[in-house]
Amino acid sequence: MRGPRGLRLVEEGLAGQLHQMLPPARGPRGRRSASCVRTAVFIFIVTFLWLQLHMASMSGGGSSTGANGAGKHGGAGGADAENSLHEFLNAVPPHLHKFLLGRNSSLANSTEPPPQPSLNLTMVRQAIEQYNAYQVVLNEGRLGPLHNDSLVIVIQVHARITYLRHLLVSLAQARGIENVLLIISHDFFDPEINELVHSIDFCKVMQIFYPYSIQTHPNEFPGESLGDCPRNIKKEQALKIKCLNAEHPDLYGHYREAKFTQTKHHWWWKANRVFDHLEVTRNHTGLVLFLEEDHYVAEDFIEALRLMQKATAVHCDKCNILSLGTYLKTYNYYGDSKNAEVTQWMSNSHNMGMAFNRTTWREIRQCVKYFCNYDDYNWDWSLQQVSQNCMPHKLHALVMRGPRVFHIGECGVHHKKANCNSTAAISKVMKVLHNAKKHLFPSHLTITMPAKLKKTKPLRKGNGGWGDLRDHQLCYNMTVKDFVLG
């Protein structure tokens, strides 16, 4: 549990959120003209949630355990974390230190949500509902409204706050970031993450919350229901005990695991939400860039996107995705900083830092059944299924040879390393970008057009984890604006 200092910051952070989350009295969009009754209800809900957190923290005692369960002064590990923190602070401008200095100053991390006070589930659901209903854009009054052709960045966030801190530091140093709308899409409601998001002052920012998460549905679908079949039970035995989804194991004979299905659901929901359901993006015609909490960007990534968009109009009219990331281990910015190549989009190569516009999204959305019925819990593999078997214009990508988006996560849904708290990947990326600094911001791009594009091998079958018909239906229903679960 958090100590007295942490509790004080919780109180101050939630109080600040309450002030910032209230919609302005007037504005250009209908979302800003909420009635006094709605505002009063909103104040009550957030205040009550704050009281719940306060009481839970008080009852938890004065232990100063960090997010990963280790104390702040946990011997050598704690000393290493503090040394790493100082190293990172020295590498970024002082005004960005606030993004790295949280309540727990260690760099410990985890792929799972940190231990939380006992939150009132009803209040969490209501707070999420209010966030999604009000659609408040922070910093809009100071930085101006979103232009229809401005860049929108959507970050999918779970609970790995340390990685998110570093991503924000990298975004804050990007040229042109003040013109961007940053949309943070959460599937876990956490006061410390909310506090961090509300500290963003370098661009316009909005929070949206995936409303069908494991956190908000811990004992029912889409979470784990008591009557669900165990993952490894044989279908014959499942039919005998009559568990809920006995008829629908995946293609490998396994039954659903909510922690894996959630990521694909969240990705599909946020794409629908951003393109089709938000007032601020209703008339948006520009690019939407998709990032995740464990990504890191180069300071010229916005300019690189602009050059790529310009190049496609001249050299590649079939390119409908721009890809800023790569999974290469080494980079040659001297030769490749201004080079980009055209290729068919591949899920395992071009899923990091990808951007597309509403025209491409509409073609993807029309293939909703191919995405939602494909027996694979990965959103990117499902998107490749859509491209290969449904879209009239298959996904073709313009890919930067010198990447502008990097992966810094040591552990995640698919990979577990011996030390998930390592900051080696972050340090490596920062060093790469420091050495490449003089090669960034090219004046133009050199486009490589292969004489004949290699044909992608057909996806014969997916990775499974998506055999349950309830997942198919929930995914499909997310394209309906007024859909309500259950």
pLDDT score of 346 more than 70: yes
Residue 296 pairs with which residues in a beta bridge? 406
pLDDT score of 206 more than 80: yes
Specify the pTM.
Answer: 0.83
Q: Which of 76-90, 247-261, 453-467 has the highest mean pLDDT?
A: 247-261
Q: Give the tens place of pLDDT for each residue, 305-316.
A: 999 999 999 999
Residue 355 pairs with which residues in a beta bridge? 289, 322
pLDDT for position 454: 63
156 pLDDT band, cuts 50/70/90, is very high
∠ CA 42-46-50, nearest 5°, is 165
Q: Give the tens place of pLDDT for each residue, 109-134.
A: 555 565 555 668 999 999 999 999 99
∠ CA 289-292-296, nearest 5°, is 85
User: What span, in angstroms and rounded, lies between the C-alpha atoms of 291 and 406?
Assistant: 10
pLDDT for position 246: 97
107 pLDDT band, cuts 50/70/90, is very low
Report phi then psi at 183, rounded to 5.
-110, 120
User: What span, in angstroms and rounded, lies between the C-alpha atoms of 209 and 198?
Assistant: 15
- Backbone Cα Rg of the chain: 23
User: What span, in angstroms and rounded, lies between the C-alpha atoms of 378 and 414?
Assistant: 10
pLDDT for position 327: 83
pLDDT score of 54 more than 50: no
Q: Give the tens place of pLDDT for each residue, 385-441.
A: 999 999 999 999 999 999 999 999 876 555 555 556 668 889 999 999 999 999 999
- What letter represents residue 342's amino acid? V
Of 348 and 145, which is predicted with more confidence? 145
Strands 288-292 vs 354-356: parallel, antiparallel or unpaired? antiparallel
Strands 405-407 vs 446-448: parallel, antiparallel or unpaired? unpaired
Expressed in angstroms, the distance from the first to the final Cα of the chain is 34
User: Please, where are the H alpha helices in 60-176?
Assistant: 75-91, 97-100, 121-134, 140-143, 161-172
What are the tokens at 394? 């298959």
* Mean predicted confidence (pLDDT) in 466-475: 97
Q: Give the tens place of pLDDT for each residue, 208-225.
A: 999 999 999 999 999 999
Q: Which of 10-19, 49-58, 74-83, 274-283 has the highest mean pLDDT?
A: 274-283
pLDDT for position 27: 43
pLDDT score of 39 more than 60: no
pLDDT score of 57 more than 70: no
User: What span, in angstroms and rounded, lies between the C-alpha atoms of 318 and 300?
Assistant: 25
What are the tokens at 14? 């939630």
* Mean predicted confidence (pLDDT) in 330-349: 90
How far does CA 138 lie from the centroid of its chain? 18
pLDDT for position 118: 61
pLDDT score of 16 more than 60: no
pLDDT for position 58: 41
Instruction: For residue 322, give the nearest of 298, 348, 352 by alpha carbon.
Output: 352
Annotated binding site: 156-160, 187, 262-266, 294, 407
Residue 260: which residues within 8 A CB-CB, separation 6 or more?
A: 377, 413, 465
The residue behind tokens 């190293």 is 87
Q: Give the tens place of pLDDT for each residue, 258-291.
A: 999 999 999 999 999 999 999 999 999 999 999 9
pLDDT for position 64: 33
With 0-12 / 13-18 / 19 or more C-beta atoms within 10 angstroms meaning exposed / middle / buried, residue 76 is exposed
Annotated binding site for substrate: 156-160, 187, 262-266
Contact present, 475 and 372 (Cβ < 8 Å): yes
Contact present, 153 and 182 (Cβ < 8 Å): yes
Half-sphere exposure of 383 toward its Cβ, with a 13 Å CA cutoff? 24
pLDDT for position 114: 58
pLDDT score of 465 more than 50: yes
- On average, the pLDDT of the chain sits at 83
What are the tokens at 159? 């609970």
Percent pLDDT > 90 in the chain is 65
∠ CA 196-258-68, nearest 5°, is 40
Farthest CA pair distance, the chain: 68
Annotated binding site for Mn(2+): 294, 407
How far does CA 376 lie from the centroid of its chain? 19
Of 42 and 97, which is predicted with more confidence? 97
* Mean predicted confidence (pLDDT) in 80-100: 82
